[in-house]
């Protein structure tokens, strides 16, 4: 059986739609971190209903559970335990249990450097339908809009990763504050706890706290650097 790894984002949605339009049989797998944006839980059932495909939801606990287990040490560029435990390990455990033949990943043709995911266990095979079909970002958005399956989160955010993802840009955090103030408040409170109990007073972004970002004026915000690096591939498709 072929499986498509989906996140609720445009790239993985387009990957599933492309295979569906071609009449290829597959199931979908979604790793639920417990910290997903509401838009993700809204879009995934719509996708499953549209293409009449099974979606398997896998989990290795919630983000909050592991955050507490790590002593409120927030994940970071150098300590991405959230991706490893909640996404990779959750999916790999499921794929091994069902002897998945091929796992299709929503990497686009305009990001070929990302189309080299290393297998994490013997027999794991990935393929990249969007790359093979030459579908770029514009094509992904066009395909999603064609079927009314482009997540509304893209109106104010750059990707569909967790609401508290440390890779968020300043505009993403401010978008969260505007559109989901309760989720911003949760991330802010987790950050306060982290600052209170960790030796280095870790924040989501080393340059500022969420409380400071919320209170800062436009001039101050522009002075703070964006976080370096890119969101983890499995979280941002």
User: Domains (ranges, CATH) in the chain?
Assistant: 2-159 (3.40.50.620), 170-223 (no CATH)
Average model confidence (pLDDT) for the chain? Answer: 93
* Banded model confidence at residue 234, pLDDT cuts 50, 70, 90: low
Res 81: pLDDT: 93
| Neighbouring residues of 179: CB distance < 8 A, sequence distance ≥ 6 | 156
Look-up of token digits 């893209």: 154
pLDDT of residue 200: 85
User: How far lies 158's CA from each of 9, 25, 85, 190, in Å?
Assistant: 10, 30, 23, 22
Structure confidence at residue 207 as a pLDDT band (50, 70, 90) = confident
20-79: per-residue pLDDT in tens?
999 999 999 999 999 999 999 999 999 999 999 999 999 999 999 999 999 999 998 888
Is the per-residue pLDDT at 233 higher than 80? no
More confident call, 234 vs 220: 220
CB atoms under 10 Å from CB of 100, counted, come to: 19
pLDDT of residue 145: 98
Confidence of residue 229 (pLDDT cuts 50, 70, 90): low
114 pLDDT tier (thresholds 50, 70, 90): confident
Neighbour-count burial of 225, counting CB atoms closer than 10 A to its CB (0-12 exposed, 13-18 middle, 19+ buried): exposed
How long, in residues, is the chain? 237
171-199 tens-digit pLDDT = 999 999 999 999 999 999 999 999 999 88
Average pLDDT over residues 222-230: 79
The CA distance from 58 to 184, in Å, is 25
* pLDDT of 2 strictly over 80: yes
Q: Which of 148, 149, 151, 143 is nearest to 21 (CA)?
A: 143
CB atoms within 10 A of CB 212: 14
- Confidence (pLDDT) at 232: 64
- Using DSSP's 3-state secondary structure scheme, residue 208 falls into strand
**Which pLDDT belongs to residue 113?**
76
Threshold 0.75, pTM exceeds:
yes
Q: Please state, in angstroms and rounded to a whole number, the distance separating the CA atoms of residues 233 and 134.
A: 19
């Amino acid at each position: 059986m072929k499986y498509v790894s989906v996140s609720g984002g445009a790239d993985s949605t387009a990957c599933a739609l492309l295979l569906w339009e071609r009449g290829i049989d597959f199931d979908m797998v979604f790793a639920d971190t417990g910290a997903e944006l509401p838009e993700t839980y809204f879009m995934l059932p719509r996708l499953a209903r549209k293409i009449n495909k099974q979606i398997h939801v896998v989990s290795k606990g919630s983000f909050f559970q592991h955050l507490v287990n790590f002593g409120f040490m927030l994940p970071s560029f150098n300590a991405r335990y959230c991706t490893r435990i909640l996404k990779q390990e959750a999916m790999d455990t499921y794929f091994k249990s069902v002897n998945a033949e091929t796992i299709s990943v929503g990497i686009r043709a305009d990001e070929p450097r990302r189309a080299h995911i290393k297998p994490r266990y013997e027999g794991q095979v990935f393929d990249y339908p969007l790359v093979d079909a030459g579908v770029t970002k514009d094509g992904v958005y066009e395909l999603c809009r064609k079927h009314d399956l482009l997540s509304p989160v893209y109106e104010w955010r750059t990707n569909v990763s967790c609401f508290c993802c440390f890779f968020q840009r300043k505009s993403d955090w401010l978008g969260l504050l505007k559109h989901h103030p309760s989720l911003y408040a949760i991330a802010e409170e987790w950050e306060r706890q982290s600052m209170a109990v960790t030796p280095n007073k870790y924040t989501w972004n080393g340059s500022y706290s969420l409380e400071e970002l919320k209170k800062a004026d436009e001039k101050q915000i522009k002075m703070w650097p964006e976080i370096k690096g890119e969101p983890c591939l499995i979280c941002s498709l």
